[in-house]
Amino acid sequence: MFKVLITDPLSPQGIDILRRAEDVQIVEKTDLAPEALLKEIEDADALLVRSQTQVTAEVIQAAKRLKAIGRAGVGVDNIDVDAATGKGIIVINAPDGNTISTAEHTFAMLIALARNIPQAYQSLIRGEWDRKRFVGVELRDKRLGIIGLGRIGTEVAKRAKAFHMDVLAYDPYLTPDRAEKIGIRQASLDEVIQTSDFITVHTPLTKETRHLIDSRAFEKMKPGVRILNCARGGIIDEGALLEAIQSGKVAGAALDVFETEPPGDHPLLRLPQVIATPHLGASTREAQENVAVDVCVEILHILRGEPFKNAVNLPSIPAELQEKLRPYQSLAENLGRFALQATQGALCSVTVTYSGELTGLDTAPLTRTILKGALSTYLSDVNYVNATFLAKERGIRVTEQKVSDLRGFTNLITVEVVTDRRRRTVSGTLLNGLGARIINIDGYSIDVLPRGHLLLIQHRDQPGAIGRVGTLLGKHGINIATMQVGRRDVGGQAIMMLSVDKPVPPEIRQSLARLENIETVQEIDL
């Protein structure tokens, strides 16, 4: 008999699935004090939570039999996933259950923003009848720019097409073929920002997307643009949005999320051009039912040893294989991260080639690790289990192959990524006594430690090029830890790989790119 502990309110539809299971004992205890939770978790086989229960490392350590933790929702911020992984506990979530709910809420906010519905209602209940003050705009023939075309962004696009809007979207993984199937147009981030009448964001909140819409972005927008955020607080710089509305550049904003929640006496909420809701994107009966059902079904699969999905940490790997692959895990993930960060455009395919001692092993876990590293450049919810699924969902071809050519190394991993703009190949190895190294980039031999802040510079092999780069970085107080240069022909194309002590701001990278004989400058953060 499996004990399933439920510590946050869950939809009855999900709990009923567990009640019908003859091998499950349900224990519902909500609002547990931390000490009570530590005692109750000791003999639990599974734990089901929403956002209230804090599943800390201490809680996980107290569990003697715990096999799975289920989060009835998308985010797992209240769960110490690393602690769970270290103890072999599977953590699952329900990423699909609130897709329609959030998309519909976004569209409701879009219509309300266009027609000033909340403001008009407030005026009416004050006893006013001011029709001229609340003249809105039609959605028909207006351009909707969508930033982030995952599950929710795609559903928003479908609804916008039904309203005869001109829809274009930016997503690092969006290819022209997929855009055509959805019936929209692929665009660059700049085109979305510069040409849209309405802009809605549907990306995760990552280092790359934090304040993606900042003061510089607002400067590029059309006068009278309207902004929506029903995704994550922090994607839009709220201070910059405030200034853009006050200046008249932005006609209005619809916000379901904030950088700090609850937002309190936020200055944006004092503006008549802003409509807002208290993070209601997933707050429908159907969404609550869906996430509860999804997570309860998954918990049963895990407890019974059946196939499952939506895990947010490592899958089970035989101990012997895990021991052999462990030394390569960090190298594999960093090769994936390096390859995609160094390659512009929408990802179309990933090819992983193994050589040497790796050819005799099951390298599928390493390939998942490489995919996780590559996709994590733009996705915050990618993990070792769902990386392959997310790649397939976005039409990214993944190929794994093994060859006998060692090129002088006892082991070698080569990652080739192809985007709609270019191809990039990166090879890495483990050197005895020295650890992981990147040893080849696009055919250029090099020796780089895959760690920290790196600058990949493509240039012409001409006297003074290296010196000018070093001088400019020194002028701005950026210390170069190591520098490697690779070239094929004297005076021809070459690359520089610099390891620096801190991130290089965009304006300095732009200055580097303007130097004589410098062609491209890309920052890579490992």
Beta partners for residue 274, in sequence order: 253
pLDDT attached to residue 319: 65
Amino acid type, 336:
G
Neighbouring CB atoms inside 10 A of 228's CB total 25
Last residue of a domain, one of 451, 483, 513: 451
Judge whether 281 lies within some domain.
Answer: no
List 71, 143, 202, 232, catalytic entry:
232
Q: Does 259 lie in the same domain as 226?
A: yes
Judge whether 309 lies within some domain.
Answer: no
Q: Does 83 lie in the same domain as 191?
A: no
Q: Does 208 lie in the same domain as 263?
A: yes
DSSP one-letter string for 220-242: HSPTTEEEEE-S-TTSB-HHHHH
Q: 516, 494 in Cβ contact below 8 A?
A: no
At residue 2, the 3 state secondary structure works out as strand
Q: pLDDT tens digits for the chain (526 residues)?
A: 999 999 999 999 999 999 999 999 999 999 899 999 999 999 999 999 998 899 999 999 999 999 999 999 877 878 998 888 778 789 999 888 889 999 999 999 999 999 999 999 999 999 999 999 999 999 999 999 999 998 899 999 999 999 999 999 999 888 888 899 999 999 999 999 999 999 999 998 888 899 999 999 999 999 999 999 999 999 999 999 999 999 999 999 999 999 999 999 999 999 999 999 999 998 999 999 999 999 999 999 999 988 787 888 765 566 678 788 889 999 999 999 999 999 988 899 999 999 988 998 999 889 999 999 999 888 876 777 678 878 888 889 999 999 877 667 889 999 999 998 889 999 999 988 788 999 999 999 999 999 999 999 999 999 999 999 999 999 999 999 999 998 888 888 999 999 999 999 999 999 999 999 999 999 999 8
DSSP one-letter string for 52-82: SS-B-HHHHHH-SS--EEEESSS--TTB-HH
Q: 4, 299 in Cβ contact below 8 A?
A: yes
CATH code at position 230: 3.40.50.720
Q: What's the farthest any 2 CA atoms get from each other in the chain?
A: 83
Give the Cα separation of 247 and 239 in Å (integer).
12
The torsion defined by the Cα of 272, 273, 277 and 282, in degrees rounded to 10, comes to 170
Judge whether 308 lies within some domain.
Answer: no
Q: Does 457 lie in the same domain as 438?
A: no
CATH code at position 324: 3.30.1330.90
Omega within 30 of 0 (cis) for the link into 262: yes
Q: Does 262 lie in the same domain as 121?
A: yes
Q: Does 406 lie in the same domain as 341?
A: yes
Q: 448, 468 in Cβ contact below 8 A?
A: no
Question: Containing domain of residue 508, as a range?
Answer: 452-526
Judge whether 21 lies within some domain.
Answer: yes
The answer to whether residue 232 is catalytic is: yes
Going by DSSP bridges, is the β-strand pair 397-403/347-356 parallel, antiparallel, or unpaired? parallel
Give the Cα separation of 291 and 50 in Å (integer).
10
List 279, 368, 424, 437, catalytic entry:
279
Give the Cα separation of 193 and 195 in Å (integer).
6
Judge whether 473 lies within some domain.
Answer: yes
Judge whether 252 lies within some domain.
Answer: yes
The answer to whether residue 487 is catalytic is: no
Give the Cα separation of 513 and 507 in Å (integer).
10
The answer to whether residue 128 is catalytic is: no
Q: Give backbone dihedrals phi and psi of 448, rounded to 5 degrees, phi first.
A: -130, 135
> SS3 for 469-481, per residue?
HHHHHHHCCCCEE
Give the Cα separation of 450 and 246 in Å (integer).
45
Give the Cα separation of 364 and 67 in Å (integer).
23
Residues with Cβ within 8 Å of residue 350, at least 6 apart in sequence: 336, 339, 370, 371, 374, 391, 396, 397, 398, 399, 415, 416, 417, 418
Judge whether 346 lies within some domain.
Answer: yes
Give the Cα separation of 346 and 349 in Å (integer).
10
* 497 HSE (CA, 13 A, CB side): 24
Please give the structure tokens belonging to residue 178: 């997929």
Q: Does 192 lie in the same domain as 165?
A: yes
List 42, 180, 261, 393, catalytic entry:
261
Q: Does 334 lie in the same domain as 291?
A: no
Distances (CA, A) of 221 to 65, 82, 210, 218: 55, 41, 19, 5
Q: Does 112 lie in the same domain as 244?
A: yes
How many domains does the chain divide into? 4
Query: If we measure between CA atoms, which residue out of 243, 303, 429, 262 comes closest to residue 18?
Result: 303
Judge whether 310 lies within some domain.
Answer: no
Please give the structure tokens belonging to residue 409: 């190394």
Q: Does 326 lie in the same domain as 296?
A: no
Neighbouring CB atoms inside 10 A of 125's CB total 7
Residue 12, Cβ density class (10 Å: 0-12 exposed, 13-18 middle, ≥19 buried):
exposed
Q: 334, 436 in Cβ contact below 8 A?
A: yes
Distances (CA, A) of 272 to 113, 152, 197, 262: 11, 28, 19, 19
At residue 447, the 3 state secondary structure works out as strand
Q: Does 79 lie in the same domain as 202?
A: no
Q: Does 341 lie in the same domain as 299?
A: no
